[in-house]
């Protein structure tokens, strides 16, 4: 008996993926066995993907997205304001696929499809700032500058390595900026090269060594990175050690909160889930358990 009554399968026809026919062959037959009525739509733009999500949301039980973090972000932004939201499954079809990694989804497509069929919907927090939503992270400084410095030709040719190359270019150009962050409990001020508000723990395919990150706990993990040196990197790695205390960190600051306001000395471009969207100042809040995402079983 099918697990879901109605589903929508969305994929980006303009993603520049020469293997799209093979990708569909690997995934659709597996997914179709679990969904009684499955509609497949090829989209030509993020706007078309968003419109499809809004049109079908009230009538489907599950939305399956074959795409990268940008396509996932576009779909989450179209679903989040709706009263009725289907469960969402992510097939890794982009460069980083960071939140699919957070959900334990295998990065090989056929295995990912089986994991989705065997997995279960899990209530996941999302972030909101203004009228925009994010699933994985919100950031300013180095993370946003890196996104803006990515060469599109390198991204097509080298995939995730294009992020590494962009980071190397950007680090040498990054200057610290004054910031002020206000939560319900405290105000943080100083200079930083990056402020990042985390709901997920993968960034550019790399897992951050911050063990408190949990996308279902109703809290963000906020990292203030004060410098882009080897010492800072070592401090970040040390956060995986349960004996590391906040007082031992000099180049990093870490705290958890469900709401914050971030300002800088001048407007800073904001990166949300890999997309440059808006600028500071910004008010950011958690929407606890706002959307159901399919999480892979422990052994998929």
Tens digit of each residue's pLDDT (9 = 90 or more) over 186-217: 999 999 999 999 999 998 888 888 889 999 99
How confident is the model over 22-46, as a mean pLDDT?
95
Phi, psi of 208 (to 5 degrees): -75, 140
pTM attached to this predicted model? 0.87
Q: Is it true that the peptide bond before 281 is cis, omega within 30 degrees of 0?
A: yes
Q: What sign has the CA pseudo-torsion 75, 95, 8, 101? A: negative
Q: Long-range pairs for 78-81 at CB < 8 Å and ≥24 separation?
A: 78/49, 78/50, 78/51, 78/53, 78/54, 79/53, 79/54, 79/291, 80/126, 80/128, 80/133, 80/287, 80/290, 80/291, 81/131
pLDDT at 158: 36
Q: Is the pLDDT of residue 182 over 70?
A: yes
pLDDT at 131: 96
Q: How far apart are CA 196 and CA 46, in angstroms?
A: 25
Fold of 134-285: Tumour Suppressor Smad4 (2.60.200)
pLDDT grade for 273, boundaries at 50, 70 and 90 = very high
Q: How far apart are CA 251 and CA 2, in angstroms?
A: 52
Q: For Cα atoms 124, 276, 72, give the angle at the middle one, nearest 5 degrees.
A: 35
Going from the C-alpha of 232 to that of each of 101, 122, 239, the distances in angstroms are 25, 34, 11
Q: How far apart are CA 245 and CA 241, in angstroms?
A: 9
pLDDT at 61: 98
Q: Where are the beta strands (DSSP E) in the chain?
A: 4-12, 35-43, 62-67, 87-92, 120-129, 132-134, 137-141, 177-182, 187-192, 194-198, 202-203, 206-207, 220-225, 252-257, 259-264, 269-272, 275-279, 282-295
The domain spans of the chain are 4-131+291-295, 134-285
pLDDT at 166: 45
pLDDT grade for 79, boundaries at 50, 70 and 90 = very high
Residue 275 bears catalytic tag: yes
Catalytic residue of the set 37, 48, 253, 275: 275
Contact residues for 149 (Cβ-Cβ < 8 A; gap 6+): 166, 169, 170
Tell me the pairing of strands 252-257 and 220-225.
antiparallel
pLDDT grade for 12, boundaries at 50, 70 and 90 = confident
Range in 119-128, 228-237, 268-277 with the lowest mean pLDDT: 228-237
More confident residue, 120 or 12: 120
> What number does CATH give the domain 4-131+291-295?
3.40.50.10330
């Amino acid at each position: 008996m099918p697990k879901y009554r109605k589903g929508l399968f969305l994929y980006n026809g303009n993603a520049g993926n020469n293997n799209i026919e093979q990708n569909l062959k690997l995934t659709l037959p597996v997914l179709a066995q679990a969904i009684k009525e499955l509609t497949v739509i090829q989209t030509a733009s993020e706007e078309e993907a968003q419109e499809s999500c809004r049109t079908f949301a009230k009538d489907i039980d599950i939305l399956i997205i074959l795409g990268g973090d940008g396509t996932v972000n576009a779909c989450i932004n179209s679903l989040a304001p709706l009263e009725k939201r289907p469960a969402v499954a992510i097939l890794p079809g982009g460069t980083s696929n960071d939140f699919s990694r957070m959900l334990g989804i295998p990065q090989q497509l056929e295995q990912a499809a089986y994991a989705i069929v065997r997995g279960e919907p899990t209530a996941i927090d999302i972030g909101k700032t203004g009228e925009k939503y994010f699933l994985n992270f919100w950031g300013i400084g180095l993370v946003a500058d890196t996104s803006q410095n990515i060469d599109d030709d390198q991204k097509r040719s080298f995939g995730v390595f294009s992020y590494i190359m962009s980071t190397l270019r950007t680090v040498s150009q990054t200057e610290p900026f004054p910031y002020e962050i206000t939560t319900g409990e405290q105000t943080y001020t100083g200079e930083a090269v990056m402020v990042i508000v985390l709901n997920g723990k993968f960034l550019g395919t790399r897992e951050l060594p911050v063990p408190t990150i949990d996308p279902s706990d109703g809290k963000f993990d906020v990292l203030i990175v004060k410098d882009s040196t080897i010492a800072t990197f070592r401090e970040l790695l040390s956060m995986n050690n349960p004996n590391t205390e906040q007082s031992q960190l000099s180049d990093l600051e870490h705290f958890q909160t469900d709401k914050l306001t971030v300002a800088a000395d001048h407007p800073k471009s904001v990166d949300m889930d890999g997309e440059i969207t808006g600028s500071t100042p910004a008010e950011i809040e958690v929407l606890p358990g706002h959307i159901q995402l399919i999480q892979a079983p422990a052994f998929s």
